[in-house]
Amino acid sequence: MFNKDRWREILEVLTSNVGRTILTAFGVCWGIFILIVLLAAGKGFENGIRKDFGDIATNTMFMWTRSTTKAYEGLPKGRSFEFKVNDVQAIWDNVPNLKFISPRNQLGGFRGGGNVTRGIHVGAYNIYGDYPEIINQDPMTVTSGRFLNHNDIKEKRKVAIIGQGVKSELYEKDEEVLGSYIKIQGVNFMVIGTYKKNNNDGDGEEAQKEIFVPFTSFSQAFNRGEDVGWMAITAHDGSSISQLKESIVDEMRKRHKVHPEDNRAIGYFDLYEQFNRVESLFFGLKAIAYLVGIMVLLSGIIGVSNIMLIVVKERTKEIGIRRALGEQPMSIKKQILMESIFLTIISGMTGIIFGALVIYGINSLLDSVGPVDMFVNPSVSVGVVSGALMILMISGLLAGFIPAQSAIRVRPIEALRTE
């Protein structure tokens, strides 16, 4: 491998017909280029879709009530009902492998008019009555003060945590937020913290217009009693919420006298199931990228192999002379293999470099035009590049194997007769 004469000979062979060498190398270069770009594009789509999920716990389901569609135990169809606070304990008692259950109530939003006031400032925001565990299911960064705790729940404290969007609209730029009061539908709440949340809209303040208050305070202030608007339920990492959801829904049907076959009375959204579908899509995109890239690369490798066969044919007399002078067949075989591997690796590295430049250009363009929701930071990992280099080495060996075998089968006498 470190023989200078051998490398000089390899370079002479490859540069003796530059046009043929470039055209041969182009097939391998194009195959690796396509593979790198397709994998980067797939990663960009994957990053964009994952960003839509944000930091929310994906092994989670959301459950709410709707009207019944079947009569049951003397109760008519079309009946409305609400979850109750004691339903939470019933789920804990009867369904295993659950990590968090967060009963939630909500009011307001952009359709709710000006439901929050502070002095002369008025805003319409989503107000959530929550337990402290919700921060584990819908993660957020507390930027000042603190989040809810169980003492707030137990003592029904009228405290609130507001988002950065709420802060910017209700407060002056340098105004102190902590310890101040906001009025939610006529009820005063003291601000004890601010938060910032990542989601599919990035970190913009428009995405932070939510207010969190203790569940018990919410129920008392807005006359919800023991009612629960909906629940966020998360399973332990070793369990799937998709496998537990039927048990959870069945338990709620029993407690609220809903027909066992009434599939409309209790609504739910299985985030884990949706996430798995997206994961399957990612796998499919990656498989297609590898298939297309490798097939294009294979065509390039076949081209290298054919050209090496032609080179061996052109050098038949030279090989015969070297054999007549005593050179071992294995030495000639190594020579042909090294020529093939060298040509393949140089071609592939060129493809990797061009692919990296294209990816860099796309990322620069995305940075200049702003974020695109469904396509974020296309890239390939070091592992993928290392794998591509390994594929190139193996491909070079395969491309050179048949020509090398052909070369060592050349008999010196017959080779010397070749014109």
- Distance, in Å, from the CA atom of 419 to the CA atom of 403, rounded to the nearest integer, reads 20
| Residue 324: pLDDT over 80 | no
Question: Which residues on neighbouring strands pair with residue 232, listed in sequence order?
Answer: 62, 102
Maximum pairwise Cα distance, the chain? 106
Q: Where along the chain do its domains lie? A: 4-54+277-417, 103-222
Judged on CB neighbours under 10 Å (0-12, 13-18, 19+), 88 is middle
The closest alpha carbon to 208, from 145, 271, 140, belongs to 140
The residue type of 16 is S
pLDDT of residue 204: 47
C-alpha to C-alpha distances, 347 to 94, 306, 340, 341, nearest whole angstrom: 63, 16, 11, 10
Residues 340-399 pLDDT 10s: 788 888 888 888 899 889 989 988 888 887 666 677 788 888 887 887 778 777 877 777
- Distance, in Å, from the CA atom of 191 to the CA atom of 332, rounded to the nearest integer, reads 82
- Distance, in Å, from the CA atom of 111 to the CA atom of 185, rounded to the nearest integer, reads 14
The residue type of 48 is G
281-285, 294-298, 361-365 — which is least confidently predicted? 294-298
| Residue 194: pLDDT over 80 | yes
Could you identify the residue written with the tokens 């043929």? Answer: 20
The closest alpha carbon to 247, from 90, 138, 102, belongs to 90
Residues 167-180 pLDDT 10s: 988 998 888 999 99
Band (201; pLDDT cuts 50, 70, 90):
very low
Specify which of 105-114, 149-158, 198-207, 319-328 reaches the highest per-range mean pLDDT. 149-158
Residue 100 is encoded by which pair of tokens? 């968090």
For residue 147, the tally of other CB atoms under 10 A from its CB is 16
Model pTM?
0.69
DSSP 8-state secondary structure symbol assigned to residue 370: -
Strands 230-235 and 187-196: unpaired
Could you identify the residue written with the tokens 């932070």? Answer: 208
Residues ≥6 apart with Cβ < 8 Å to 216? 129, 153, 154, 156
Could you identify the residue written with the tokens 């295993």? Answer: 96
Could you identify the residue written with the tokens 């591509």? Answer: 388
Band (214; pLDDT cuts 50, 70, 90):
very high
Band (129; pLDDT cuts 50, 70, 90):
very high
